Amino acid sequence: MDKLTIWEVFLFSVPEAAVIISIAFGLGGVKFKPKEILYISLLTGIILYFIRPLVSSYIVNVILYIGVLMILFLVFKVMDFFKGMMSVILSVSIYLIIEYLNVTAIQFLFDIDPVILLKDYVLRFECFLPQLLIAILVSFAIRKYKLYLFTE
């Protein structure tokens, strides 16, 4: 896959990781901890900054993303391995669905060529915001309606 610039990591990867982590915390029934989410998302973005250029397959990249999040969840003692694994896999899946629907809708509604989307950073950021906002709303809904994966 393409190598991201460091500013792309902070503009795209870190917020994306933060919202995925927030969804995973919600699904796992873990209290919302902004500081912990920030640290884990920063580390995720930085780690993936170095891993992404080494991986050419999108699916392998997603699997590594899940692996990095799982390791960081264990290091930060967020939740036990099984709960963490299930929450992370489901939260990444939810985010990927949101991303796919967002990109498909934007391409359909505005007839934007994906190649232009990758080259024009302002347009890319404008297209990134709706999926980020939807994912934030999903995270809030999970917390508000207590849609936890596990009951105690």
Average of pLDDT values for 36-56? 94
Contact assessment for residue 83 and residue 28, using Cβ atoms and an 8 Å cutoff:
yes
Q: pLDDT tens across 54-107, in order?
A: 999 999 999 999 999 999 999 999 999 999 999 999 999 999 999 999 989 998
At residue 12, the 3 state secondary structure works out as helix
Angle formed by the axes of helices 14-27 and 34-51, nearest 10°:
130
Q: How would DSSP label each residue in 68-98?
A: HHHHHHHHTT-S-HHHHHHHHHHHHHHHHHH
Amino acid identity of 78? V
State how far the alpha carbon of 150 is from the alpha carbons of 29, 63, 80, 114, 146, in Å. Answer: 7, 23, 12, 39, 10
The structure tokens 């906002």 sit at 133
pLDDT of residue 117: 76
- Best CA proximity match to 49, nearest among 2, 15, 95: 2
pLDDT of residue 2: 61
pLDDT of residue 13: 93
Q: Where are the domains of the chain?
A: 4-143
State how far the alpha carbon of 10 is from the alpha carbons of 17, 74, 146, in Å. Answer: 10, 23, 30
Confidence check: pLDDT of 1 > 60: no
Residue 81, classified by CB atoms within 10 Å of its CB into exposed (0-12), middle (13-18) or buried (19+), is exposed
Q: What percent of the chain has pLDDT over 90?
A: 74
Average of pLDDT values for 38-42? 97
pLDDT of residue 102: 94
Average of pLDDT values for 126-149? 96
